[in-house]
Amino acid sequence: MAASSASTILRYAASSFTSKLTVAQKLSSFGQPKNLVASQHLKISTSASSAVAKSSRSFSSDSRSSQVQEMHVYEINELDRGSPAYLRLSQKTVNSLGDLVPFSNKVYTGDLKKRCGITSGICILIKHEEEKKGDRYEAIYSFYFGDYGHIAVQGPYLTYPVDTHLAVTGGSGLFEGVYGTVKLHQIVFPFKIFYTFYLKGIPDLPKELTGEPVPPSKEVEPTAEAKACQPGHTLPGFTD
Instruction: State the average pLDDT over residues 57-62.
Output: 44
The end-to-end CA distance of the chain, in Å, is 121
Q: How many Cβ atoms from other residues are within 10 Å of residue 219's Cβ?
A: 9
pLDDT digits (tens, 9 = 90+) for 91-122: 999 999 999 999 999 999 999 999 999 999 99
pLDDT at 63: 61
Strand partners for 107: 75, 117
* Contact between residue 108 and residue 73 where contact means Cβ atoms under 8 Å apart: yes
Q: Is the pTM of this model over 0.85?
A: no
Identify the band that residue 142 occupies on the pLDDT scale cut at 50, 70 and 90. very high
C-alpha span between 80 and 146 (Å, rounded): 20
Rounded to whole angstroms, how far apart are CA atoms 192 and 76? 5
CA dist., res. 110 & res. 131, Å (int): 33
Q: Which domains are delineated in the chain? A: 68-228 (2.40.480.10)
> Residue 43 and residue 35: Cα distance in Å, rounded?
12
CA dist 76 and 221 (Å) reads: 9
Query: pLDDT grade, residue 132 (50/70/90)?
Result: very high
Q: What share of the chain is helix, strand, coil (3-state, %, to 5)?
A: 30, 35, 35
Output the CA angle 8-12-16, nearest 5 degrees: 175
When computed from its CA atoms, the radius of gyration of the chain, rounded to whole angstroms, is 37
Q: What is the pLDDT of residue 47?
A: 46
Please, which residues have CB within 8 angstroms of residue 152's CB and are 6 or more apart in sequence? 141, 142, 168, 169, 170, 171
Distance of CA 204 to the CA centre of its chain: 19
The set of residues, in sequence order, having a beta carbon less than 8 Å from that of 97 and lying 6+ positions away, is: 90, 125, 126, 127
- Yes or no: say if 234 and 134 are a contact pair by the CB < 8 Å rule: no
β-strands 179-188, 164-171 pairing: antiparallel
